[in-house]
């Protein structure tokens, strides 16, 4: 059952390992497969910030065990965690608030990439930021553990229910600026 899922939780863990080890934790049997590791790095855009690293995949993350280790930002750690989910290459992808620590540009790229990367897979995306889920085929709006509305983004807006009200509330914050 565990092999079916690639996971990224909002509260990801920062391991004081190498980049390789941080990503390969999701499928340790492929830890020496540099091609698969770099593909996961490209999909999650980790390659955006590791290009000039001397040791590349073998760079130590954090300075806990290596005074020359890399200290990453929250968004960079989130991308490493996303690479871990992609590296697993599971048929079902579960992402819980995958863009919580990302800037708006990185968030947009991740979701644009996510659409193509989840092709031919089942994907479950959990988010409170409703603008992040507008592209989803089906949205389940939960309240107190119950599904109270479901449909595509446009269908839910037409219903003018709770989803629509919350989406408009969030969107209005951008209109005020």
Q: In what order do the strands lie in the sheet with 122-126?
A: 5-8, 92-96, 122-126
3-class DSSP state of 30: helix
* Per-residue pLDDT band at 176 (split at 50, 70, 90): low
Euclidean distance between CA atoms 77 and 73, whole angstroms: 6
Query: Between these two residues, 101 and 40, which has the higher pLDDT value?
Result: 40
Residue 177 has pLDDT above 70, yes or no: no
Dihedrals φ, ψ of 132, to 5°?
-80, -10
What's the chain's average pLDDT? Answer: 89
In Å, how far are 64, 87, 153, 163 from 81, measured between CA atoms?
A: 19, 10, 27, 29
Q: Which tokens hold the place of 79?
A: 């991308």
CB atoms near residue 30 (< 10 Å): 17
Please give the torsion angle defined by the CA atoms of residues 81, 82, 84 and 90, in that order, rounded to the nearest 10 degrees: 140
* 116 CB-contact burial (10 Å; exposed 0-12 / middle 13-18 / buried 19+): exposed
User: Tell me: the pLDDT tens digits for 49-106?
Assistant: 998 899 999 999 999 999 999 999 988 998 898 899 889 889 998 888 877 767 777 7
Contact 12, 25 (CB under 8 A): no
User: How much is the average pLDDT of 141-164?
Assistant: 96
**Mean pLDDT in residue range 110-120:** 75
Question: Which parts of the chain fold into alpha helices (H)?
Answer: 19-24, 34-43, 47-50, 74-88, 104-117, 153-159, 162-176
The reported pTM is 0.79
């Amino acid at each position: 059952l565990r092999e079916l899922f690639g996971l990224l939780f909002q509260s990801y863990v920062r391991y004081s390992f190498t980049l390789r080890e941080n990503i390969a934790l999701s499928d340790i049997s492929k830890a020496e497969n540099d091609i698969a590791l770099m593909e996961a790095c490209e999909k999650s855009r980790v390659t955006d910030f590791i290009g000039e690293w001397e040791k590349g995949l073998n760079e130590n993350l954090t300075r806990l065990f290596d005074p020359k280790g890399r200290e990453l930002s929250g968004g960079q750690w989130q991308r490493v965690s996303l690479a871990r989910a992609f590296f697993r290459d599971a048929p079902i992808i579960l992402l819980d608030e995958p863009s919580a620590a990302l800037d708006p540009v990185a968030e947009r790229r991740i979701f644009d990439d996510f659409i193509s990367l989840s092709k031919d897979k089942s994907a479950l995306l959990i988010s409170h930021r409703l603008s992040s889920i507008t592209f989803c085929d089906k949205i389940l709006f939960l309240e107190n553990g119950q599904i109270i509305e479901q449909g595509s983004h446009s269908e839910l807006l037409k219903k003018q229910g709770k989803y629509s009200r919350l989406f408009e509330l969030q969107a209005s914050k951008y209109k005020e600026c």
